[in-house]
Structure 1
Amino acid sequence: MIFVTVGTHEQPFDRLVKAIDELKRDQLITDDIFIQTGYSTYSPKYCEWSKFVPYADMEKKMAEARIVITHGGPASFIMPLQMGKTPVVVPRQAEYGEHVNNHQVEFVENVSKRMGTIIPVYDIADLRNAVCNYDTIISTMTQGAKSHNEEFNREFEKIVDNLFQ
């Protein structure tokens, strides 16, 4: 299943909602799709959808999803990251009337360059590639936050062992 969320910002994000619906219509995406459409004015015809989803349902849908596609609001793409997923992130853009400015574009560019843990899509025409080649894309991602838990545990174990010698 693919879960798409556009968040709760009061401007429509029809560009993303329509693009996903058309990919499903054209059978370029065969997964089931659920879209949280928010204030978008476009109503999907080929995907299951709801304007808003209670938080607990959103968590459940994200956890069950093979792919999570979000707008560029930090809360929406941090949740799948916390679940160990690599989200496809399509920032809202002012030129399309999706937000008041391009802060989402700037934020997504920053996170993508520094962390490498998201798949940014700035041009909606690139969404097809991001979704259809998702598994290949994430398998080649080498950047990202590295967990140092094992290293920490080894060093901590040495300290504890030295205390008891």
Structure 2
Amino acid sequence: MIFVTVGSMMAFDRLILCMDKWALAHADCEVLAQIGGGTYRPSHMRCTRMLSPSKFQEAVRDAAVVVAHAGMGSYFVAAEMHKPIVMLPRLAANREHTTDHQLHTIKWLRDRPGVFAAMSDDELDSAIDRALKSASAAGANFADFAPEPFLMRVRHFLVN
């Protein structure tokens, strides 16, 4: 299963539309999307507006790959659970965010184990393919990167 998340703060219709097209072309792959308050409602993948923190954790745990905006919270959760993550940054020019800080975030994260950067919509399919291959590879390499107390504080901050 692929789990798609736009985070809890803002809609990201471009990502959801791209993933709905991907789901149509890959009908053999189950996709669950947390779509937030966006206006685009997907028709080729299961979706929900929001998930409780426990359901979110369950979705990530059950996923082979996570697809998300280039937000640190999504990265932390995926890395903690050793799940490959495909990240597509929100763009200020598209009015998806107020700044382009997600471009800087993805440039900083893209060489880390388990991170697959899609710098544009056109790169999303290949990033997902690479992430799925990584997920099926025996002994995928994920680095432990932060102590659990720090992760708990970040999770608490993001949820509250």
TM-score range, shorter chain: 0.7 to 0.9
RMSD, aligned α-carbons: 2.2
Residues 75-127 of structure 1, C-alpha deviations (whole Å, 9 max, x = no match): 112101101112111111111111001101101111224x3441111111111
Whole-angstrom distance in 2 between the partners of 1:108 and 1:35:
21
Amino acid at match of 1:132: D
- Taking the aligned partners of 1:98 and 1:57, their CA distance within structure 2 comes to 25
Match of 2:2 in 1: 2
Question: In structure 1, what is the equivalent of residue 21 of structure 2?
Answer: 22
Which moves more between the two structures, 75-84 or 127-136? Answer: 127-136
Which residues of 2 match residues 122-137 of structure 1 at below 5 A? 122-136=119-133
The corresponding residue for 2:79 is 81
Give the whole-Å Cα distance in 1 for the aligned partners of 2:86 and 2:142. Answer: 15
CA distance 1:66–1:116, change in 2 (3 Å): closer
Kept after mapping to 1: 8 A contact 2:85/2:116: yes
1:4-153 map, 5 Å:
4-10=4-10, 12-25=11-24, 27-28=25-26, 30-113=28-111, 115-136=112-133, 145=143
Shift of 1:146: 7.2
CA deviation after TM superposition for structure 1 residue 133, in Å: 3.7
| Closer, same or farther: CA 131–40 of 1 in aligned 2, 3 Å | same
> 2-side partners of 1:34 and 1:98: how far apart?
21
Distance change (3 Å), C-alpha of 1:101 and 1:29: farther
Unaligned runs of 5+ in 2: 146-160
Q: Deviations over 1:47-85 (max 9, x none)?
A: 110111111000001000011111111011210110111
User: Aligned to 1:35, what secondary structure does the other structure show?
Assistant: strand
- Once residues 8 and 17 of structure 2 are traced to their aligned partners in structure 1, the CA distance between those partners, rounded to angstroms, is 17
Change (3 A) 1:29 1:101: farther
1:125–1:32 Cα change, 3 Å: same
Q: 1:119 to 1:104 in 2, by over 3 A?
A: same
Q: In the alignment, what sits opposite 2:149?
A: none
Paired-residue identity, %:
25
Amino acid at match of 1:78: F
Count, aligned residues: 142
CA drift of 1:137 comes to 5.4
Distance 1:116 1:28, change over 3 A: same
Deviation at 1:28, TM superposition (A): 3.0
Structure 1 residue runs without a partner (length 5+): 148-165
Q: TM-score with structure 2 length normalisation?
A: 0.79
Answer whether contact 1:130 1:137 (CA < 8 A) is retained: no
CA shift in 2, pair 1:61/1:146, >3 Å: closer
